[in-house]
Amino acid sequence: MEFGGRWVLKHVPQLLGILPYASAWGLLLRFEGQTIRVIESRGRREIRIDREDRCQLAQVIRNFDLYFELCEAALATAQDDGSRVVDLGIPAIRGCLWRLQHVSEAPRFGRIVRWMPDRIDIRDRSTRRVIRISHASAFYLYDTMESFDHYFGSVRPSTEDEAGVALDVVDFSTPRLQWVEGFGDFEVFCPSHAEPFRVCLDYLELARLCPGDVVLDLGCYSGLTAIAFSKAVGPSGRVITLEPDPVNHRAARMNIECHRKANGLDNITLLPLAVAASSGLIAFSEEGSMGSSTLDVVGAGRGRSVSVECVSLEELCARQRLERVDFVKMDIEGSEVDVIRAAAGFLQAFHPRMVIEPHMVHGRRADRVIMPWLQRHGYECRLVAQTGYTLPLVLATPV
């Protein structure tokens, strides 16, 4: 290992600890300015990372071959001495470097992953199908690999030619219009991943809505579930839907307006609010994804931190002057525990049927907390399998 500069001297104890680890993997470390170079001791390959990503150094060392193969086609450059360098310190990679660890799971799922300068391509090894996502969506790489068929089948693919081979590509790398499979009213504007319409049908089946019903759709993403509920309750019903992520909210607003024009229904109220245990302001991670949530749940680093208004369920109903609530769909990405625990007054006043998507919160699945609580407050609860996902839904019915 070569040393140089005040920064390296400051971190000598930490860096010395990783030297034997690198040597055991047949790699040399070199520090030059802002760059950490990881070099094959008996080869001609090198990976470079930014020194601020030093916490990922052990990961790069351990997965050197995998990362080099993953990024070689898009990022490798030839040097004068015949070596090839993959630079993971470029802006397109920095900030998502830690997410590369998910790529090690690709063979288990039968996928091939290619990290490109402007996108990530996930290809099914046994077919010519490709799902394309953005670097910002790299957090969902594991889920996309695991549920590849579910996401690929959510929209109509396009065909691209790659070296004479026709590939079927589903592109979620930028916000765009998509023809959602099973939904033919109009093209749906999707911020990133499309919301599979099969999931909306699951909610509809569990909701058992009737004309004139009042629905709370908490966490509507691009608005597709709200549109499905709108058609089910008809012109005499209401759908109040919340989406606090500004990117998602704009997409939902566009889609709901298309629905109004296409189907002649104007019964959806879309609000740029988060539902919470109490009303006020809350720090939110703006991601333009289905998993956008509060910073308390997802932490910093996934998206741009924004301040959004939040309301309790009781406050929401008071503002909308609701005299009844027949059904609640709750998909609020990890905030469901706090919201349900603070909802005793709301549940006592309205007794709605509910479907809640539980998430992993601080290492614990939310349904293990909310189901006993709801049962103590007059609800019968059971888990229901969810199409395309490993986590089930919680169906809560008042008794």
Please report which confidence band the pLDDT of residue 3 belongs to, taking 50, 70 and 90 as the band edges: very low
Instruction: Give CA–CA dist 111/157, Å, rounded.
Output: 18
Please report which confidence band the pLDDT of residue 82 belongs to, taking 50, 70 and 90 as the band edges: confident
In contact, 378 and 347? CB cutoff 8 Å? yes
The mean predicted confidence, pLDDT, of the chain is: 87
- Output the pLDDT for position 154: 96
- In the predicted model, what is the mean pLDDT of residues 294-314? 76
DSSP category for residue 127: S
Q: How many CA atoms lie within 13 A of 107 on its CB side?
A: 3
Q: What is the pTM of this model?
A: 0.81
Q: What is the DSSP string of 317-360?
A: HHHTT-S---EEEE--TT-HHHHHHT-HHHHHHH--EEEE---E
- Output the pLDDT for position 371: 95
Which domains, and CATH codes, for the chain?
6-89 (no CATH), 100-171 (no CATH), 186-398 (3.40.50.150)
Please report which confidence band the pLDDT of residue 139 belongs to, taking 50, 70 and 90 as the band edges: confident
DSSP alpha helix (H) spans, the chain: 6-10, 12-24, 57-62, 64-75, 106-109, 141-146, 148-152, 197-207, 224-233, 246-263, 295-298, 313-319, 336-341, 344-350, 367-376
Identify the residue with better confidence: 271 or 77: 271
- Confidence check: pLDDT of 75 > 80: no
SS3 breakdown of the chain: % helix, strand, coil, rounded to 5?
35, 30, 35
Phi/psi for 35 (5° steps) reads -110, 140
Segment (H or E) for 114: strand 111-116
In contact, 93 and 60? CB cutoff 8 Å? no
Instruction: Give CA–CA dist 204/229, Å, rounded.
Output: 7
